[in-house]
Amino acid sequence: MDNIIRTDYTEIMQKSYIDYAMSVIVARALPDVRDGLKPVQRRTLYDMLQLGVKYDKPFRKSARIVGDTMGRFHPHGDSSIYESLVVMSQEYKKGMPLVEGHGNFGSIEGDGAAAMRYTEARLQKITQEAFLADLDKDVVDFVPNFDQNEEEPEVLPVRVPNLLINGAEGIAVGMATSIPPHNLVEVIEGAKLYMKNPNITTEELLGTMQGPDFPTGGVIVNKDDLLSIYKTGSGKIKVRGKVVLEKTKGGKEALVITEIPYTMVGAGIGKFLNDVANLIENRVTTDISDISNQSGKDGIRIVLELKKNADAKKIEHMLYKKTKLEDTFGVNMLTVADGKPEVLGLKAFFEHFTKFQFEITTRKYRTLLKEANKKKEIQEGLIKAYDMIDLIIEILRGSKNLKQAKGCLVSGNTEGIIFKTKSSEKRAKALSFTEAQATAILEMRLYRLIGLEIDTLEKEYKKTLKDIAHYEDILTNEKTMRNVLLKELDGFKREFGVPRKTVIENAQEAVYEETFEETELVVLMDRLGYIKTVDVSTYERNKEAADNENVHIIRCMNTDRLCLFTDIGVLHSLKILDLPYGKFRDKGIPIDNLCNYNSAEERLLYVEAGQNIYEKKLIFATKFGMIKVVNGSEFLVSKKAVVATKLLEEDRVLFVEEVREEKPQVIFKTENGAFLRFLVDEIPEKKKTAIGVRAIAMAQGDFVEQGWFVAGQNSETIMYKEKEIALSRIKLGKRDGKGVKLRL
């Protein structure tokens, strides 16, 4: 009979979710502080080494690499592996690319890489020498792969501070990492400083390691904030593109963007061009005559041609304020340290890096010492054998088999062996070679008996003794080991170091004051919620079509704000300048994209421009029969969304209308067929935060269904129970009355 374990459901959910979260954090999304790699990157590089796709070998198809990695080490789909391979090859994303790509591996402007069957790849030289070397020397632990059929390294023995050099980005469960790339030379110098003095301060480290070095260049403008960022491991870096002023034909000038912020890599360039085009179309600036993207193999070159006498510095500041030419890079140096996620400051990172370097170096030289001692043992045996080669030959000739000969060499057992003389047998009994030495002697080739060969062997033996002394010195003397590490780091710096690309300074805040000519526009919104603005003359020329195609047509100034009242009692407000300006037949933009209005959950009741509203009085009526008048000046707000009226629970606004002298009466109709007519003057004026007063007394479960504003004497009719009814039949009553039911 099965055992039934009773437990709290919340405990199971909590444990399962934590297990899942930790799996994603440690095994998928975050890099390890030791090698700066995520599992998919580590496995891809290791697989490339296993396939022999080295920097000095021919390229191999990316599909071959991806398939082999997925089949042996990373069973999570080929797209994640190929994407990792592509990113590791892109020099505009990585401070130090780890893979050399051949073919279309995408572009800085956001073009995707070609399919993996078309591209080829191989390891970069630094990857092979600083990431994958010494794996055969037991420098790191190997763990079983996903199906227990092979082993993979738990971490790569990376000899440079890769996490800082290449940076990292990743989204885990409830946390994310964002580490900017840095300059290899500066990071190595920082690591050396820490190795020499673990008590060094972050300020002293930043004296050598200035800050991030983005592969796209640019200018970091908040240098003073870097100390806090590197102490805590989190903060915000402001980075600008590099802009130069060039003279063009005809005495005009052009602003040329030669470097972009790192955050603009990819689709950001296209968005920047669109943003500048929108600034021109919306007349935020009239000083840019043309914009062109002339970027190519030589780098970024975006040209903004200026009109004569344009203020270039003002336009540059406008670009910083209105586009992503100045952007923020959020730093969160979250990484897996000692098996758990941790946000590290700069000094803490170097502490982990140094500890790892000492660990893998210790393991490396222990292995080398072990191998050198074995080599020494064999060399001593061979030298000793050379001095008694005649005896050994006599033992071999007199032995019946290999086992008998080896036994004599190791333990002096001469039983069954035929010797020429008793003295030879006596000397044989004194032999005491080790197992390894005896094996080497028996496998020795005859040419090793040549005189010159023994000289070579003795030289090799002396070198082995020297190596052993060196290895022992490294393993027993911390200073010697540190010097070895420093020398290795210097070697990587000399061979792979590149000049810094990003400038770091304390720049002044970009100041830009919008100045534009106040003009009259017409706002058009159609039934689907698409909105745009056009010139008054454009509207007048197309008035008939505009009136037929749009539900909201509002004349206003370009300095106004557009106010949208919805049935959930919210006022959405946005600048007229934020609306797309264009031709009459332009489609416009959905209003949902411009403000917090949600067409799926809200219904627009009233739309008007701010200056037109502020001098009016608006009537709010709700489904539960509440009503009030609000002065329009209360809606003079700058926020994108505010409460326009307070509502009871589950109540909705039925309509919003302005108070008009020509329509001084209001009529309500409830779902149960009660009609009430009363004067607008009976409606009290309240604040926008008030619920209002009761307009009609309704039976329980009844609610207001419709409402009309009418003149004193009107001939308006409505359809009621499939019959046409004149509103004039409804007698004038008082607010908060029960109303009457019409007899048909």
Q: What is the mean pLDDT of residues 702-707?
A: 90
Q: What is the mean pLDDT of residues 182-190?
A: 96
Q: Where are the alpha helices (DSSP H) in 150-243?
A: 162-166, 184-196, 202-208, 226-232
Model confidence pLDDT, tens digit, residues 146-160: 999 999 999 999 999
Model confidence pLDDT, tens digit, residues 397-427: 888 898 899 899 999 888 888 888 888 888 9
Residue 320 reports pLDDT greater than 70: yes
Model confidence pLDDT, tens digit, residues 51-108: 999 999 999 999 999 999 999 999 988 999 999 999 999 999 998 999 999 999 999 9
Q: How far apart are CA 632 and CA 616, in angstroms?
A: 5
C-alpha 91: how far from its chain's center?
Answer: 16
Instruction: Tell me the C-alpha to C-alpha distance, in Å, between residue 16 and each of 21, 75, 567.
Output: 9, 21, 42
Q: What is the mean pLDDT of residues 293-311?
A: 89
Task: Report the relative pairing of strands 142-144 and 151-153 from DSSP bridges.
Answer: antiparallel
Model confidence pLDDT, tens digit, residues 458-507: 899 999 999 999 999 999 999 999 999 999 999 999 999 999 999 999 98
What pLDDT is recorded for position 74?
A: 92
Q: How far apart are CA 29 and CA 40, in angstroms?
A: 9
What residues does 525 pair with on adjacent strands? 531, 552
Instruction: Tell me the C-alpha to C-alpha distance, in Å, between residue 211 and each of 205, 235, 248, 325.
Output: 10, 13, 36, 20
What pLDDT is recorded for position 715?
A: 67
What pLDDT is recorded for position 604?
A: 87
User: What would the two tokens of residue 554 be?
Assistant: 């509002």
What pLDDT is recorded for position 27?
A: 64
Q: How far apart are CA 187 and CA 164, in angstroms?
A: 7
Which of 106, 94, 132, 103 has the alpha carbon at shortest distance from 214?
A: 94
Question: Is-contact 127 156, C-beta < 8 A?
Answer: no
Start-to-end C-alpha separation, the chain: 75
What pLDDT is recorded for position 450?
A: 67
118 given a catalytic annotation:
yes
Q: What is the mean pLDDT of residues 355-370?
A: 96
Q: What is the mean pLDDT of residues 518-525?
A: 88
For residue 518, give the amino acid letter. E
Which of 85, 94, 79 has the alpha carbon at shortest distance from 43?
A: 85
User: What would the two tokens of residue 543 be?
Assistant: 């008035």
Split at pLDDT 50, 70, 90, the class of 516 is low
Split at pLDDT 50, 70, 90, the class of 26 is low
Which of 173, 165, 155 has the alpha carbon at shortest distance from 190?
A: 165
Q: Mind giving me the DSSP string for 104-151?
A: ----TTSPPPPPTTT-EEEE-HHHHHHTSTTGGGT-S-EEE-TTSSSE
What predicted TM-score, i.e. pTM, was given to this entire model? Answer: 0.74
What pLDDT is recorded for position 609?
A: 86
Q: What is the mean pLDDT of residues 18-22?
A: 70
Catalytic site residue from 118, 365, 447, 512: 118
Which of 170, 188, 167 has the alpha carbon at shortest distance from 93?
A: 167
Beta-carbon contacts of residue 192 (< 8 Å; ≥ 6 apart): 486, 489, 490
Split at pLDDT 50, 70, 90, the class of 596 is confident
What pLDDT is recorded for position 395?
A: 87
Split at pLDDT 50, 70, 90, the class of 222 is very high
Encode 267-296: b = buried (16+ Cβ within 10 Å), e = exposed: ebbeebbeebeebbebebbebbeebeeebe
What pLDDT is recorded for position 488?
A: 96
Mean of all residue pLDDT scores within the chain = 89
Q: How far apart are CA 680 and CA 678, in angstroms?
A: 7
Model confidence pLDDT, tens digit, residues 608-632: 887 778 888 999 999 999 999 999 8
What pLDDT is recorded for position 182?
A: 96
Mean pLDDT is highest, among 18-22, 257-261, 703-707, for 257-261
